[in-house]
Amino acid sequence: MQQSKIEGGIENTFESEIKELRDRIDDIDEQILTLISQRFAEVQKVVALKKRHNMPVFHPAREEDMISRLRDSARKRQMDPDFIEELYRVILRNSRLHQTVEMKQQGIKPGSKVLIVGGYGQMGSYFAWFFTTSGYEVRILSENNWDKVESLCIDIELALISVPIHVTLETVRRIAPYLPPDALLADITSIKTEPLNEMMKVHKGPVIGLHPLFGPTCSSLDKQIIAVTPGKKPEQYQWLIDQLTLWGAIVVNSNAQEHDEIMDIVQGLRHFATFCFGQFLSRKKIELHRTLEFSSPIYRLEMGMVGRLFAQDSSLYAEIVFATPLRRKLLKDFVLSLNEQIAMLDNNDKELFIERFSETAKWFGTFSEQALRESTFIINKLIERF
């Protein structure tokens, strides 16, 4: 009986003490929510100010300075700086997304007439929606209504070409005679040299090349990259760059030749190598789902990227892979480089493998450390998700 009283007293004391602690935690949670709400209210003021001055949503330098400062503050408080950074990345992204939603209704030239050639396609529809929600008058030109091209081009300030690569040059030549002399002609093709040269050749007005490095499934342009290749009369196309920036996009400037050379690697080689890997697994009749049961997070991540490719439109990727003769030559060089490894495997030459590994690691330099950190972050997120 005495033991029961002691145990009961201990239990009552524990419940009383833990309730007090939990109540304090609940109070702190309410304070945190109040502070986040107050922060949100200040963000609203920032949005209003940016709207008045047509300023971009994302300020990379300020955001990184803020993260650095918060990490330092976390260390001084003996808190995990990685945790604080992750927490604030979420808060900052939410803030940017809210600002981006607000900015979608903000037009640099509201009321201006925009013609999107190929506007019923996925990317064409995507940009049509952005221009429409920002107050532009959007017109769509496709093969189905090409007989109305003359009327659709009246008084337009922007003609945006959004068609497959293999018909881009022909489309540029077809639309050019109907464009107002001072209209801005732009394209969003993933190669730039030939389209840009053709646009400058057939159109006397301002010309610019664009390449959105994302797909039409993105819910916003927040931190999405758009490559910009200059054409002619930049003072007359700056408003379009400002509009993209206002929507939250990050603009990367490049000349057309540099852009295409980089895209040969970033898109052409990457997609082709992924295609080859997936095709090899298919021909070997690998039991994919069984391998995933034994997989590490990094293998699942890699297979996720392979599966992602084959879940999409084959004709789209065929256009990208076979885009230019120079790209196809690069891909042949890649295949030949794989053949160079056959002798090493035949000879069971581990020393040669280590030598080549070391040479390549040296070439990657400090990026390898960055890649390790970034991939570890992604892997940890994948573990949390699955």
Contact 215, 193 (CB under 8 A): no
Distance of CA 140 to the CA centre of its chain: 25
Which tens digit of pLDDT belongs to each residue from 122-135?
A: 999 999 999 999 99
Local confidence band at 112 (pLDDT 50, 70, 90 cut-offs): very high
Helix (H, G, I), strand (E, B) or coil at 365: coil
The mean pLDDT value of the chain amounts to 89
Looking at this protein, which amino acid is placed at residue 102? E
Helix (H, G, I), strand (E, B) or coil at 367: helix
Which tens digit of pLDDT belongs to each residue from 143-179?
A: 999 999 999 999 999 999 999 999 999 999 999 999 9
Looking at this protein, which amino acid is placed at residue 299? Y
Q: How high is the pLDDT of residue 88?
A: 87
| pLDDT beyond 60 at 102 | no
Whole-structure pTM value: 0.74
Q: How high is the pLDDT of residue 58?
A: 62
| pLDDT beyond 80 at 103 | no
* Neighbour count for residue 38 (Cβ, 10 Å): 10
What is the Cα Rg of the chain in Å? 27
| pLDDT beyond 70 at 98 | no
Local confidence band at 99 (pLDDT 50, 70, 90 cut-offs): low
Better pLDDT: 371 or 345? 345
Local confidence band at 297 (pLDDT 50, 70, 90 cut-offs): confident
Which tens digit of pLDDT belongs to each residue from 304-354?
A: 999 999 999 999 899 999 999 999 999 999 999 999 999 999 999 999 999
Tokens of 373: 């950190």
Q: How high is the pLDDT of residue 322?
A: 95
Q: How high is the pLDDT of residue 8?
A: 58
Tokens of 319: 């256009």
Domains and CATH numbers, the chain: 2-103 (1.20.59.10), 113-254 (3.40.50.720), 259-385 (1.10.3660.10)
| pLDDT beyond 70 at 54 | no
Tokens of 308: 């992602």
Local confidence band at 221 (pLDDT 50, 70, 90 cut-offs): confident
List of residues 6+ apart from 28 with CB closer than 8 A:
none
Quick one: average pLDDT of 215-231?
88
Which tens digit of pLDDT belongs to each residue from 35-51?
A: 988 988 888 787 778 76
Q: How high is the pLDDT of residue 57?
A: 60
| pLDDT beyond 60 at 203 | yes
Q: How high is the pLDDT of residue 9?
A: 60
Better pLDDT: 384 or 180? 180
Contact 101, 47 (CB under 8 A): no
- Rounded Cα distance, 310 and 317, in Å: 10
List of residues 6+ apart from 205 with CB closer than 8 A:
179, 180, 181, 182, 183, 184, 185, 233, 236
Contact 178, 146 (CB under 8 A): no
List of residues 6+ apart from 356 with CB closer than 8 A:
344
User: Look-up: residue for tokens 């801005």?
Assistant: 184
Which tens digit of pLDDT belongs to each residue from 55-94?
A: 666 666 677 788 888 889 999 999 998 888 888 888 887 7
Q: How high is the pLDDT of residue 251?
A: 93
The C-alpha torsion from 51 through 55 and 59 to 63, rounded to 10°, is: -30
- Percent of the chain exceeding pLDDT 70 equals 92
